[in-house]
Amino acid sequence: MNIGIVKENHVFEGRVAITPANAKVLLKAGHAVFIEAGAGDVSRFSDEDYQRVGARIVYTNEEIYGRANLVVKVAPPKAQDYELMQPEQIIFSPLHLAVARKKWVEILLKKKITAIGVEIIEEDNGSLPVVVPMSEIAGQLAIQVASQYLQTNRGGRGILLGGVPGVPPGIVVILGAGVAGTSAAYAATSLGAQVIILDHNINKLRRIRQNLQRRVFTAVSNEYYIEKAVKFADVLIGAVLVPGERTPTLVTRQMVKSMRPKSLIIDLAIDQGGCVETSRPTTIMDPVFIEENVIHYCLPNMPSAVARTATYAMSNAMLPFLRDIANLSIQKALQMNKTLARGVYTHNGGCTKIHLAEGFGLPFVQLESSLEV
């Protein structure tokens, strides 16, 4: 199979979909790997690194899409990507179609693209194997970011998260006790911050409280407790995830108005619409804005700030699925690997996610019946 790796065209997206080591695994299995020139530069993987393992360097997005049966990305496709996709191609990428434009979904259907969203590839136990490492990174980064933007010279409240003797620590409120929220809680407690984490799942709250030896306060996530918690937060971290769907708005504009002046919101859910009403996507070059006198940090590709670490983590998580697709064919891979099959948005001209189909007014097709065609 011909596997194509594009150079991402998002602003300051430094990750690349595959490391040279993992490219070698696919090459040794008899597949061809085409990688766009400069795709790994920001992650410190040179074109020569890829050439040494046998990958072929090409020079345009158009050539990648023109040559590859399987195109692999680390950032959601943009308008030009959808136009370049070839009939019956396989796209393996974050897609976030629940917050995409309808016309892009229609292109996928018209071209009979097998669109696999890595954000909804799901294990039997509900774990998201490709999302998990990115969430772990984002959670840690959220606390690093918080430490910076609470500083006076960054326009923040002038708060040291860990406090000092005689001065209480900063207060971090986290919405969501999943992977990202837990990672942020670990990082924040290690600095000595006071952490309050809210989730609707009592078992998750119990687990995080046990793992952190009761160094966090927990509460059930509902409007009443969220409204109370945000009022005294120095940092509010939105770490809510609903796989394949738009993130619900949990923090209203009125709640944001009630927050302390120059406190900080970090909305880790922004790539799926955000969980704060006042959130909007930002970029690495311009990562913050102020709304209702509160600093907002809403970077969709947050792990790209540590591009090399993120590339290793994401490439390792994606490799088993890429290997199945390449070695078995897409039909057999989806029939045999149910985890991978749960990531399929469109296949053979049909929309295979009922929430997506209903949201855009498109016909829904069961993946199983589509695979029998």
- Candidate list 271, 296, 324, 347, residue with the active-site label: 271
The backbone torsions φ and ψ at residue 304, rounded to the nearest 5 degrees and listed phi first, read -65, -15
Per the CB < 8 A criterion, the answer to whether 92 and 72 are in contact is: yes
Has 49 been annotated as catalytic?
Answer: no
Has 199 been annotated as catalytic?
Answer: no
Per the CB < 8 A criterion, the answer to whether 53 and 345 are in contact is: no
Which amino acid type is present at position 197? Answer: I
Calpha distance 117→119 (Å, rounded): 5
Task: Give the torsion through C-alpha atoms of 139, 239, 179, 322, to 10 deg.
Answer: -90
- Candidate list 10, 31, 81, 96, residue with the active-site label: 96
- Specify the length of the chain in residues: 373
Per the CB < 8 A criterion, the answer to whether 65 and 84 are in contact is: yes
Calpha distance 205→44 (Å, rounded): 39
Calpha distance 51→33 (Å, rounded): 10
Active site positions, annotated: 96, 271
